[in-house]
Amino acid sequence: MSGRLRLAGLVVSAVGLCACTPAQESGVKVIVGARLEPGAGREVIDYSVVVVADGKFRAVGSQSATPVPKGSEMTRGLGMTVHGVSGGEPIEVGRAANLVLEGGGQRREMRNGDWVH
């Protein structure tokens, strides 16, 4: 009897594992921990979260107040600064996601939610 129970347990486990699929990419990008200089006279945030989806800023705020969406592509920003592109719009929810992330000898640029450099 215990052999049958063990076999049944293995079958149930195998079926459960077959039902698992890898997580799909959400298309959401998140920068975590960078100093945020949002522009337009807004307050600087030392440890920020910047959420980008569909080419726009979806959430911008402090790490303590801004959740990171599950399944998002995370970029570590510790020791770096995020600011708008030269002459660009401020970093705020609803605007096109155009920004620069720089620090530690690195510089990355995002245009309309896509990393270009």
Domain that holds residue 79: 27-115
Number of domains observed in the structure of the chain: 1
Does 6 reside within a domain?
A: no
Sign (positive/negative) of CA torsion 75, 76, 78, 79? negative
Does 58 reside within a domain?
A: yes
Q: What is the pLDDT of residues 27-55, one digit of tens each?
A: 999 999 999 999 988 999 999 999 999 99
Q: What is the pLDDT of residues 57-113, one digit of tens each?
A: 999 999 999 999 999 999 999 999 999 997 678 999 999 999 999 999 999 999 999
Does 33 reside within a domain?
A: yes
Distance CA 25, CA 70 (A): 10
CATH number at residue 78: 2.30.40.10
pTM above 0.85, yes or no: no
Does 1 reside within a domain?
A: no
Q: What is the dihedral of CA 94, 108, 102, 30, to 10 degrees?
A: 40
Distance CA 37, CA 4 (A): 64
